Structure 1
Amino acid sequence: MIGIVVSGHIHFASGMETAVRAIAGEQEQMLFIDFVEGMSTQELEQSLRQAVKDVDSGDGVLILTDIPGGSPANRALEIMMDTPNVELIGGANLPMIANAAFERDDAELTELVDTLLDIGMSCMKDMRRELNSIMEQPTELECEDGL
């Protein structure tokens, strides 16, 4: 099973943990690391490295972070560059993280990355545009009496 580490600023990771648990249940080989106020980037990287080791069963590890270019993503990038079989997605959202729990059993690491990127992009919607599209669709009224 592919191991998963989720990290982000303040309580992004712990918030995602609560949401994933509600959607997908308790998850093995999935850890959530918050980058909280007062924590150095070195401490964050140490926590991430330990989490990667803890979730790795040999099938690889995917790290999902909140903001591409933010400290969690940058520290995870360092880990990805010097640790074999580790991939990183920056800019992860809840649909991606929840689906990672469901999709990781039967996928290769690179396949999982592609799947989650597709899910993440397809789940972003302009709800005004979606509503307008629905409202513009013609509706046919059925009248049994021919009126």
Structure 2
Amino acid sequence: MNFILAGHGNIAVEMKNSIEMIAGKYPNVKAITFELGDGVETLKDKYLKIINQSTEQSFIIITDIFSGSPYNAAAMLAMQLGNIEVISGLSLPLCLALLHLDYSSINFEEAFEQLNDIKSDFIKSFKKISKDIAEEEEF
């Protein structure tokens, strides 16, 4: 499975750098930028350049915001090509979770279900956790 990270500005490039800092290099992860003045067609060209250079045919494009330009360009390609899945919500926990799934034994729909099962692990509140611990200690 190949991954393309995309978002406004340099967020995707920096996300890839963060992934490498934590988990090492992943040659199947690429990142594109979306600069001021770029449009949907420019983004589609950036995606296609990566897709056309790959021998692997399946792609997951992870974008920062649902219905933003990076998402819309990816969705257009997904409709045209069929071998692309697009999800929004680019974050380090999401990327690490996606990278560590075993795609040899599951398809994307199953992978997405697994993500739904663990998505509550992605966002934590210190105050809520502290309150929960304090309540447990009272018993």
Do both proteins adopt the same fold according to a TM-score greater than 0.5, normalized to the shorter chain?
yes
Determine if contact 1:8/1:67 at 8 Å carries over to the other structure: yes
Structure 1 unpaired stretches of 5+: 141-147
Question: Match of 1:79, as an amino acid?
Answer: L
- Quick check: 1:65 aligned with 2:69? no
- Quick check: 1:79 aligned with 2:81? no
Coordinate RMSD, CA, aligned: 2.0
Per the alignment, residue 101 of structure 2 pairs with: 103
Equivalent positions of 1:1-147 (< 5 A) are: 2-55=1-54, 57-58=56-57, 60-106=58-104, 107-138=106-137
TM-score by length of 1: 0.82
Q: Deviations over 1:91-142 (max 9, x none)?
A: 22211112222225433232223333444443112332122111222268xx
Partners of 2:6 and 2:55 in 1: how far apart?
16
> Whose Rg is larger?
1
Count of paired positions:
138
Partners of 2:128 and 2:22 in 1: how far apart?
27
Moved over 6 A (4+): none
Deviation at 1:84, TM superposition (A): 1.9
